Amino acid sequence: MKIERIELVHVRLPLVGRFRTSFGTDTGRDTFLLRVVGGETEGWAEFGGDPDPLYCSEFAASARLALRDHLVPRVVRLGDVSAAAVGPAVAAVKGHRLAKAVLETAVLDAELRSYGMSFATYLGAVRDRVPAGVSVGIADSVPELIDDVAGYLGEGYARIKLKIEPGWDVEPVRAVRAEFGDDLPLQVDANTAYSLADAEHLRRLDEFGLLLIEQPLAEDDLRGHAALAGRLRTPICLDESITSARDAATALELGACRVINVKPARVGGYLEARRVHDVAAASGVPVWCGGMLETGVGRAANLALAALPGFVLPGDVSASGRYYAEDLTPPFVLDGGHLNVPDGPGIGVDVLPGPLSRHTVSRHDLYTR
Ligand code: NPQ
Ligand code: MG
């Protein structure tokens, strides 16, 4: 494929409710889409980060500069561009995995659309629907949290993830177990809010039969996670710490985790995400698909990944309505607690012009031939 144009579309969408984590509160999603046009085809992808470097070191403005000045020129210079060639072309650039991911994914979408092949088929999906989990933000009070969880269970969600932080951990988990019972698939996500000195406190979560505790310690603290793992019954799952398949192999070798949250953006794209899946599967380690408050553009591709055989736990793949009153694509809706995996060409959904224009802040050409 010869690339004719790469356009960055800055979008801003209000969230249906506030989303609070241990690193901040969001009331809207502010990100960008990349549109790659080449020959008879075009592809779309969504940046998986945020305007602030709080979840990870990258942010929307850093990705925009990395793409404009370093990544796009290296890829366009290839002449005949394929998704498989993007990673090698940008490998000399250190880091910037979220920026690399959005570029590779847009090229992959364009390429697969030109063959009429779906992401699901390309990645090796073995299911046509996946169970939907939901990530529940920190609430102002326990009764409000119980209301939030009851609402999601009423909609059919198959698994609940509670965001936790010091001061909001044992009590909310105890209350959710007391209200909804021991059979509810339940897990927690600390987004790096604890230290190893909190090990005895975190051990109090062991009595609640959680599926896992996600990223309790700092992203660069594999040794600490391994030490903590020796003191908890609850399996540790890593999110922020895993930025590549090699990281996954290292973390498993060190005993730093027993479960991995796979986010394509964090590891540099869907090709590396599949390699993380393969590394985990080779060790019999379960993985699940994480989420970054994606619009339908990112959500569609995540559903394809979540349909791979090693994705044995429900992911943070929720319906569009979990976050957005109006999505940028036809909305993804729950069907018996599941979401259908798109089977059309590429990501399998189209960006809707009306919603896109209503939520567009600005458009910029990063490249025109
Ligand atoms: C996680 N996601 O698993 C992340 C964290 C997260 C669904 O829990 C804007 C962009 C806001 C990305 C808030 C879920 C975000 C974000 C939280 C990612 O750790
Ligand atoms: Mg997480």
Domain ranges of the chain: 5-116+352-368, 121-340
Q: What is the pLDDT of residue 304?
A: 98
pLDDT confidence band for 286 (50 / 70 / 90): very high
The C-alpha atoms of residue 207 and residue 199 are separated, in whole angstroms, by 14
pLDDT confidence band for 2 (50 / 70 / 90): very high
Please list the active-site residues. 163, 263
Over 90: is that where the pLDDT of 81 sits?
A: yes
Over 90: is that where the pLDDT of 117 sits?
A: yes
Q: What is the pLDDT of residue 39?
A: 84
The C-alpha atoms of residue 84 and residue 104 are separated, in whole angstroms, by 8
**How many A from CA of 293 to the centre of ligand 1?**
6
Q: Which residue's CA lies nearest to atom 16 of ligand 1?
A: 292
The predicted-structure confidence for 214-259, as pLDDT tens digits, reads as follows: 999 999 999 999 999 999 999 999 999 999 999 999 999 999 999 9
Q: Which residues pair with 60 in a beta bridge?
A: none
Over 90: is that where the pLDDT of 94 sits?
A: yes
Atom of ligand 1 nearest to the CA of 191: 19
Question: What mean pLDDT is predicted for residues 289-302?
Answer: 98
What percent of the chain stands above pLDDT 70?
100
Q: What is the pLDDT of residue 155?
A: 98
Three-state helix/strand/coil letters over the chain? CEEEEEEEEEEEEEEEEEEEECCEEEEEEEEEEEEEEECCEEEEEECCCCCCCCCCCCCHHHHHHHHHHHHHHHHHCCCECCHHHHHHHHCCCCCCHHHHHHHHHHHHHHHHHHHCCEHHHHHCCCCCEEEEEEEECCCCCHHHHHHHHHHHHHHCCCEEEEECECCECHHHHHHHHHHHCCCCCEEEECCCCCCHHHHHHHHHHHHHCCCCEECCCCCCCHHHHHHHHCCCCCCEEECCCCCCHHHHHHHHHHCCCCEEEECCCCCCCHHHHHHHHHHHHHCCCCEEECCCCCCHHHHHHHHHHHCCCCECCCECCCCHHHCCCCCCCCCCCCECCEEECCCCCECCCCCCHHHHHHHEEEEEEEEEC
Over 90: is that where the pLDDT of 139 sits?
A: yes
Q: What is the pLDDT of residue 346?
A: 98
Nearest ligand (C-alpha, residue 30) = 1
Over 90: is that where the pLDDT of 54 sits?
A: yes
Q: What is the pLDDT of residue 30?
A: 98
Q: Which residues are near ligand 1 (CB < 6 Å)?
A: 19, 21, 26, 50, 55, 135, 189, 191, 239, 290-293, 316
The predicted-structure confidence for 148-169, as pLDDT tens digits, reads as follows: 999 999 999 999 999 999 999 9
pLDDT confidence band for 34 (50 / 70 / 90): very high
Mean pLDDT, all residues of the chain:
98
Task: Write down the architecture of domain 5-116+352-368 according to CATH.
Answer: 2-Layer Sandwich (3.30)
**Residue to probe by mutation, ligand 1, list 13, 30, 54, 55, most atoms within 8 Å of CB:** 55
Q: What is the pLDDT of residue 89?
A: 98
CATH of domain 121-340: 3.20.20.120
Q: pTM to 2 decimals?
A: 0.97
**How many A from CA of 65 to the centre of ligand 1?**
22
Q: Which residue's CA lies nearest to atom 14 of ligand 1?
A: 291
Nearest ligand (C-alpha, residue 133) = 1
